[in-house]
Structure formats: structure tokens, C-alpha cells
Amino acid sequence: MTPNQKNKKRDREQSLPICSTLILVFNVTLFVFMWRAGQGDVSSIASLFGTKENSRILAGEWWRFVTPIFLHGSVEHLLVNGLSLYWFGFSIERLYGSRRYLLLYLFAGIVSFIVSYWRSPIPSLGASGAIFGLVGAGLVFPLRYRDRIPEKARSRILSQLLTMAAINLGIGFTLKQVDNWAHLGGLAGGAIAALFLTPEVLDDRPYERRRETLLNLLVVAATLLIAFCGVRQWNAPKLISITLHADNPWWHIEIPLEWRQETDGIRLPSGANLLLIDSVQASDKARLLLQELTRADTPQQALKVGSFPAVRVSQKEGDKIVDAYVISAYGESIALILASSEKAYPQAKLELERAVQGIQIRHAPQNSTP
């Protein structure tokens, strides 16, 4: 290590890791807002703040690849990730410098939720994917710069990081609520980013204006991306989740907060009524309605909702239009039945399609009895 590198290393060790500190403060601040908004029940309103939810991303809310990086589902969740940022994030930031650290952290976090979206249908949130990215960068560092790190120190660093990653991934595979796909994605994302980012403490290249300008532009773009995603989520329609089976929630639907739940269904802004039925809990009358909608002689449009087959049935009854989606899942049926006046139907049709996008089928129903 050159004298210049030693001076940089000493300065880094004595400096405050600004980026990690700001991320930690931001995470805590957001959690306080979530806690107050949910009156202590963070999970009930987490979606409103931008958790990773496949159905919402499919509906066009791509910013949910970014917003979940800064959200947490419980005090324990925040505490674990906060301590990890303090113990490990501070060290990585001192190594890479605040600008490169921000790019590394954000890139690993986004990749973690892209992999989670690809492999896991379960909603998720948290900084752990980005933190696993720091682990990935920590693993790349002694391998990429092996000629600058003594073999004994290199072996110790690799051993500690591999052990930490293995333990945390092992815990994740044993707990259903842990999104291990996000962890694996973050680990890979951080390792990839570290291949293109030179740690500032080892960067003894002569000053180059073009390189510094590019790095600053990337940091500004990353900061603007975070702000833009936050604003988009703030301005996005606020959704609430409706579960028809409190004891066995095998499916649920998310609807905008302004849609009114009434005894006979959901009243839409267009004035139309939306009725939700599934064959597991359906009354005899509702079962007859489902049979009527899916009769062989009824004009139907075959399509898919997510990965499940469905039919769409539209028919006019006097001055009203009935438009329904009937989804087949695990041997059962889920129906969304819209009743609208002819005048309001163009808007009501769009509202129905939006409701269908908000359906999430979690698993096969258990004890399927009416």
C-alpha cells in the first residue's frame, strides 16, 4: 500500500460515513411515519408506502423495485437491518467512499427486488437485500485486489463474510416470512457492482475530470431516482386489501382507498356496484349466479388473470350492463361481477379491469366448505 493510500485509509477511518448515516436516518423516519399511519400496525399500511408487490408492478408501478429498499415491517426488522448498516455498512462506505457506496447500495437493492419479483409472489420489503449486496462487494474486494491484501487477512475476510452469508441465508430458508430470493439477488447485485467500482481508499489514479464528472452524474441520477420513486408512490392511488377469508386467506384483492365498501358490495366512483364471490364461501344463491355466468351457452371471452384461466361474461339486462370476470383457481372459482348503468359503463369497465389487476391468489384453499 502506497503512502497516499495509507493516508486515504486513515482519513476514511476517522470520517463519518455520511451516506450510511443518511440511509439509516431515512429508514427510521419512514418507519415512524408508517407506525403512526398504521396506529402501530405497520403491516396494514405497508403497501401504501411502496412494498414490492408483483400485481402492482404488473399494473405499472415499476417504482416498487426501489421504494421497498427503505421500508421495514416491524421494530425488530428495522433494528436488525439498522445494526447491520451500522456495523457493516459504515466499513464498506469508508472503503468505497460515499459516492460509490450509494451506487453500490442502490444497485444491489434494486437487483434484490427484481430477483424477488421474478422468483417470489409474496410481497416483501426491507434493506436486507441491499445489505447482502454490501456482503457481495465485501467478498469481491479481497479477490479483486488480492495482490494488495496479505493472504492471512484475505482468508480471514472471506471466511467471516462467507460464514455470515451462509448463516443468514440458512435462517432465511427456514423462515417463510423471509424473502431469501431478495437476499440472493442483493448478494449477486453487490458483487457485480463491485467489479466496476474501484474502492476510493485504493484509487491512486491521477485526477481525471471526465471520470469524476461521470461519477457525480451517476450519484445525482441515483438520488433523483430515489426521490422520483418516492413521489410516484405518494401520488399513486392508495389501495386497501380485502380478504374474504379471515381464517384462511387464500386470496385477496386490493382496491383504491376511495372505493366504498357497502353491505351489497363495493360502490365504485362511477356509481356502479362490484360484487365479489368465491365458490368456497358462496351461498346457494351465489353458487347459482356463478353457474349462470359460466353456462356453456353464455357468450364468453377466454383469458388469463395472472397465471390462472378465466372467462369474461358481458350481458345487458334492461337498462343495466352486467360485466363479470370468473377466475378458476385450484378447483374453485372467484367472480368479480360489475352491475352498471349503460351511461356509466365506460368508466365502470375501466374500474373493473383495475380491480382484476388487484387480485392476488396466494395458495390453494384449505377445508373448502361453503
For residue 114, give the 3-state DSSP assignment: helix
Q: Is 252 a catalytic residue?
A: no
For residue 290, give the 3-state DSSP assignment: helix
Going by C-alpha positions, the residue among 112, 36, 37 that lies closest to residue 70 is 112
Partnered with residue 335 across adjacent β-strands are: 277, 326
Averaged pLDDT for residues 163-183: 77
Please enumerate in sequence order all residues whose Cβ is within 8 A of that of 93, keeping only pairs 6 or more positions apart, or say none: 17, 18, 19, 20, 101
Which domains does the chain carry?
3-235 (1.20.1540.10), 240-361 (3.40.1000.10)
Catalytic option among 55, 183, 333, 340: 183
Q: Is 128 a catalytic residue?
A: yes
Nearest-angstrom CA–CA distance, 66 and 26: 14
Q: Tens digits of per-residue pLDDT, 328-353?
A: 999 888 999 999 999 999 999 988 98
Nearest-angstrom CA–CA distance, 253 and 236: 17
Catalytic option among 47, 84, 128, 270: 128
Q: Tens digits of per-residue pLDDT, 200-259?
A: 888 888 888 999 999 999 999 999 999 999 999 998 877 767 766 556 678 888 888 778
Q: What percent of the chain has pLDDT over 90?
A: 44
Within 10 angstroms of residue 353's Cβ, the number of other Cβ atoms is 14
